[in-house]
Amino acid sequence: MKVTIFGYSETKPGEPLYQAAFETGKKLAQAGFTIVNGAGPGVMRASTEGAHAGGGQVIGATFDSEGMTFFEGQDPDNKVDELIVLRTYVERTMKLLEEGEVYVIFNGGTGTLSEFAMAWGLARLYFGNHKPMVFYGAFWYEVIEALAKNMLLREKEKQVYQIVNSPQEVVRAVKELIKIRD
């Protein structure tokens, strides 16, 4: 089973977000999951390093970002085991969504926001056969509350995710959401 990780590309080793992504990748790998990420820096690299520390494998999906001003691109220090190179950002996003059976979404910027929105939209469209989301961090409560207050969310859209606050909770939520039991 594969878990796609999304999150901030500019977090650095030693920062709490980097460490959380590292520990999450490690715990997921120890639980038998393959990690999928965008092969870039930050949360992506941290989850790769964690997965390898946990004895796991990582699939990265990137694209040729020539001419783009603010795309981090592939991080040569993110040593994924398999690299998929696509033509565009949209193709990359779709591949990341296709590869994972569940998504873990950390704090991030506009790239993470676009990935989160696409994942949530697909979960609603395919509800019942959807790929669930795990939001990492208590700040998500406020984000989801603001969305629920200001957007026209349907009840089913509130049933496709869990919010967690630790790597251990990620593993529990992933297993629960995809119905895997120890």
- pLDDT above 90 covers what percent of the chain? 63
In a domain, 182, yes or no: no
Q: Is the pLDDT of residue 27 over 80?
A: yes
Q: How many domains does the chain have?
A: 1
pTM of the model: 0.90
- Angstrom distances, CA of residue 12 to CA of 1, 9, 17, 46, 64: 28, 9, 8, 9, 23
d(CA 36, CA 57): 9
Residue 59: give its domain's CATH number.
3.40.50.450
In a domain, 162, yes or no: yes
Greater pLDDT, 77 or 43: 43
What is the span of the domain harbouring residue 40? 2-177
Give the model confidence (pLDDT) of 124-171 as tens digits: 777 878 899 999 999 999 998 888 788 777 777 677 788 999 999 999
In a domain, 107, yes or no: yes
